Structure 1
Amino acid sequence: MPNDTPEKPTVAATGEFGLIRAVTTGRRQPESTLLGPGDDAAVVAAPDGRTVVSTDVLVQGVHFRLDWSAPEHVGRKAVAVNLADVAAMGARPTSVLVGLACPADTPTDVITELVDGMWGEAERAGVGVVGGDVVRADQLVVSVTALGDLEGRQPVTRSGARPGDILALCGRLGWAAAGLVVLGRGFRSPVGVVNAQRYPEPDYAAGPAAAVAGATAMIDVSDGLLADLGHLAAASEVGLDVRTERLEVHQRLREVGQALGADPMSWVLTGGEDHALAATFPPFADLPEGWRRIGSVTMPDTGVTVDGEPHNGEPGWQHWR
């Protein structure tokens, strides 16, 4: 029997400017966007006089799979991972720019749904998608550049931690790693765990709140708690000790770990892509809402330890490993 299902239009048929119109028309911008898409460049307000800038690239087959994630999920993830980096500097996210590459035969609705996800996450963060570029490539690649405003504060870098400081965390850990294992085993549930792998949900306000509260150093946990704490420890020339009794292992993670024969604490310690924030604070600081103490800053040359002992095994994700 003949197939009566009409073929979906592709980006080649839609054309570059038709695609741009499809993903930008009717979108609302925040007040910080002075001039949005449609010109040679965007104009974004920078009241502080300084701009925090971060870029990430997501490649199909490396950072996402369309048989695991809907295009909307990929769009949300692309924006979220960048805005989390801005928040980790203590800045308020203001806007994002998007670079998009895809094959000519990509269905147009894949791209429009992907950009719908970007706009949805941007709106959740209170920022605008202010511009970008689209090009042809052999596979789907999404590059996002995020901008942020320090609002008169100094940036919170990785290099300010001092011995005696509190080590604290805001956000959940282990969920995305558990979701990756579940998807890799061919399952699509539990949905909450799987969706954590598909797209993170960072608390963008937590970074500025930590800065206001006097955070001495901060980092976005993207590659695994121990791996990223290693970067902070190296930059600050200190040691960091994580106390496992202070780390939350949600009951759902315990259930998934039991079903798959895995230790959920390993997901919490070394799993990436949840994009929680880790920061250090002065010893007697009042932690902002949502932050909880998970350890302490120790003396130099002690590295990152778990309950006072070195961790055995890989601390997290490394590219090209």
Structure 2
Amino acid sequence: MRSDTPEGAGTVADLGEFSLIQRLTVGRAQPPSTLLGPGDDAAVVVASDGRVVASTDVLVEGVHFRLDWSTPEQVGHKAVAVNLADVTAMGATPTAVLVGLACPPETTVELVDEITTGMWKEAGRARVGLVGGDIVSSQTLVISVTALGDLQGRAPVLRSGALVGDVVAVCGRLGWSAAGLAVLGRGFRSPVTVVNAHRAPEPPYAAGAQAAMSGATAMIDVSDGLLADLDHIAEASGVAIDVRTDLLEVHQRLVDVGTALGADPRHWVLTGGEDHALAATFPGPGAVPEGWVTIGTVWRGDGITVDGRPYEGPGGWQHWR
């Protein structure tokens, strides 16, 4: 907690809206893409391409995070990461985030401080500015982040561009967040590397632009599960996609956790969400850039198969189901 909290200002109600905003923003460094940061009616961000990629996600306490499972700093990290991953999945370079925070009046200033610290740190890792937002009163802690990105002259990579004969590749971790969630759900807090993958995902921010420059025909952020998200590409593109399990990496740490919990780690890799890896299609093996792993093929038809067969069970997360 910062040391400049006025005496008696233990909660956000004690400190007040405008003092809290000033506390969370003044003195923070901004990247060159931020021409005007917090403090005015709106921010001004560089958009040299003439187009702005924009995406918004909402995180609700008890649905997307639990403060008995994650530190406030990890929650802030996650809120920024999941939004920037969507911008990256369009082939854009992230430039800025705007944050909306709704919280009960009894929320401590220390809690908000720590959430914001996580946001600033992750924004720094992605080399983007946290350029503004809003704070309001609510009965539930809710964080809404809007992410902006710059295409830098490139065409956006859509879900609808996959072609028959393309190969499917991924960049980033798969199954780690689902394994971490399973560990937490059993009441454990270790292994820490697996649990932290759920608490604070690490999207490969540079990989989206890399894929776009390598000729990716379609791309998506793996937020709901690999099969579920590839199915979005298949449906939008009017194609079928087959995933080969012999090409999927199942890390030994996931194998160990699966053995301990009596779970199949391959299921986490295929259907687990919230790792925020990127999945994309490319016009042949030679187009797949360094750091990406080929895992399947685009075929004529529709839907998703695994090793040529329909996958038994849900392919990922869906709200209200």
Short-chain TM bin: over 0.9
Q: Are 1:242 and 1:294, in contact at CA under 8 Å, matched by a contact in 2?
A: yes
Structure 1 runs not aligned, ≥5 long: 1-5
Who is 1:220 aligned against? 221
Instruction: Describe the SS at the equivalent of 1:309.
Output: coil
Partners of 1:135 and 1:94 in 2: how far apart? 25
Contact (CA 8 Å) 1:76, 1:121: kept in 2 or not?
A: yes
1:33-112 matches, cutoff 5 A: 33-112=34-113
* 1:20 aligned partner: 21
SS of 2:275 mapped into structure 1: coil
C-alpha contact 1:36 1:42 (8 A) present in aligned 2: yes
CA contact (8 A) 1:92 1:149 kept: yes
Quote how far apart the aligned CAs of 1:286 are.
Answer: 3.0
> Does the 8 A contact of 1:213 with 1:285 survive in 2?
no
Cα separation, 2, equivalents of 1:115 and 1:289: 34
Please give the TM-score of this superposition, normalised by the length of structure 2. 0.97
Offset of residue 174 of structure 1 = 0.5
Distance apart, 1:26 and its partner CA: 1.2
Aligned pair count reads 315
Tell me, in whole angstroms, the C-alpha distance in 1 between the residues paired with 2:286 and 2:127.
28
Q: How does 1:283-294 map to 2 (within 5 A)?
A: 283-294=284-295
Q: Which residue of 2 aligns with 1:3?
A: none
Deviation at 1:285, TM superposition (A): 3.1
How many Å separate the matches in 1 of 2:9 and 2:30?
30
What is the RMSD computed on CA atoms of the aligned residues? Answer: 1.0
- CA shift, 1:107, in A, is 0.5
Kept after mapping to 1: 8 A contact 2:8/2:14: no
Distance 1:278 1:33 in 2: 29
**Separation of aligned partners in 2, 1:215 and 1:123:** 27
Q: Deviation per CA, 1:45-99, whole angstroms, max 9, x where unpaired?
A: 1000000000000000000000000000000000000000000000000000000
The amino acid across from 2:207 in the alignment is: A
Matched, 1:130 2:131: yes
SS at match of 1:153: coil
Q: Which runs of 4+ in 1 moved over 2 A?
A: none
Provide the identity percentage: 70
Which stretch of the first structure deviates more once superposed, 154-163 or 281-290?
Answer: 281-290
Distance apart, 1:8 and its partner CA: 7.2
1:225·1:271 contact (CA, 8 Å) conserved in 2?
yes
Deviations for 1:85-132, whole angstroms, at most 9, x for unmatched residues? Answer: 000000000000000000000010100100000000000000000000
Cα drift, residue 152 of structure 1: 0.1
Out of 194-203 and 286-295, give the one that drifted further: 286-295
Alignment of 1:316 onto 2:312: no
Q: Distance in 2 between matches of 1:174 and 1:166?
A: 21
Indicate the residue corresponding to 1:273 in structure 2.
274
Paired with 2:214 and 2:263, the residues of 1 have a C-alpha distance of 37
The separation in 2 between residues aligned to 1:70 and 1:16, in whole angstroms, is: 23
Write the mapping of 1:286-305 to structure 2, written as runs, cut at 5 A.
Answer: 286-301=287-302, 303-305=303-305
- What secondary structure sits across from 1:89 in the alignment? coil
Query: How big is each residue's C-alpha offset from its partner over 1:128-170, in whole Å with a ceiling of 9 and x where there is no partner?
Result: 0000000000010000000000000000000000010010000
Shift, 1:284, TM fit: 4.5
Question: What CA distance in whole angstroms lies between the structure 2 residues aligned with 1:105 and 1:122?
Answer: 27
Q: For 2:251, give the aligned amino acid.
A: H
In the other structure, the counterpart of 1:205 is 206
